Amino acid sequence: MLKNLRHEGYLALGAVFFAVSSVPAKLVMEGGFSAWRLTQIRTAGAFLILFTYVFLKNKKSLRVELKELPMLIIFGLFGFAVVNVFYFLAILRLNVGIALIIEFTAPIWIALWIRFIQKKAVSPLMWWGLVVGLTGLLLIAQVWRGLTLNGLGIIYALLDAFALAIYFLVGEKLVGKKSSEATMAWGFGISSLFFAILLPWWQFPFAKLGDIVALTGRFEGSSMPTYYLVLWVVFFGTAVPYFLVLNGLRGLSAATSSAIGMLEPVFGGIFAWIFLYEKLSFVQSIGAAVVLVGIYLANRARTSI
């Protein structure tokens, strides 16, 4: 029981770090960075941090067998490169709440995969948990208020949801064979190599790192160099939360882990209120509570998956 609570705590804390880091990430993009370049520098930076840590701690854990490479490549490309890029592309075209709702349909795709592709039984309680959780996300975003959705943004968000589902499913298998740190290092390394080929580093807009970004909300009137925000995104918005999520996956199923991930938009609303003065309405507050109920139901169903 205590072990399960520890893994649930890892996932919840990971959601906190992901949520709070959305603010500096958006400021960086508004300052002129593209979603592709921001993903490139955050994955490369996180790779250098984790690779150094793992190499000094236990470099033997970095060794992989040839048969492990396909799974690691899928994990690196989808779990790090695709998830990050399409999330950033989605929030540039959609309301952040809407983008998160679509992204967090990932637990549904995971449950469908388990039920119809792997032919395994899925507890009815898990279905109820997912339905309740997604209903809460709809309340948080207040989708009935006449929002005009961007078609390309919806496509990006759906692709992000599929990539997130792959991340949880593949990550669940990998952490059963390798340490979380080594899995992370390989994932970020493969993602970094992919971006280095796609977007050569000699063309990277390094000069923009020195640009001054005007802050908003609670810190309105203040400014900060872009590289401070990028460092935050690299360390606290990438390396730390991904590490926490993978540790959480060690003790929980992919379906349950992705359901707990629904905490991210809840925390996102809290941090938006704290830093940007974006208050939750009464309905949105109810939605946050409904999401927590959905997570609880999905968590109770984990032994059936």
Summarised one tens digit per residue, pLDDT across range 262-296 is: 788 788 778 877 876 767 678 878 887 888 788 77
pLDDT over 90, % of the chain: 25
Q: What is the dihedral of CA 282, 288, 292, 293, to 10 degrees?
A: 40
Structural domain of residue 63, as residue ranges?
2-304
243: tokens are: 């590490």
What pLDDT, in 10s, does the model give residues 203-241?
A: 999 999 999 888 777 777 788 999 999 999 999 998 888
Instruction: Give the Cα separation of 226 and 214 in Å (integer).
Output: 10
Lowest mean pLDDT among 11-20, 45-54, 69-78, 130-139: 130-139
pLDDT band at 133 (very low <50, low <70, confident <90, very high): confident
Distance CA 20, CA 276 (A): 11
pLDDT band for position 75 (cuts 50, 70, 90): very high
Decide if 265 contacts 100 (C-beta within 8 A). yes
CA–CA separation, 6 and 107 (whole Å): 21
Look at the chain and report how many structural domains it folds into. Answer: 1
Q: Is the pTM of this model over 0.85?
A: no
Distances (CA, A) of 2 to 62, 172, 175, 210, 288: 29, 20, 20, 46, 25
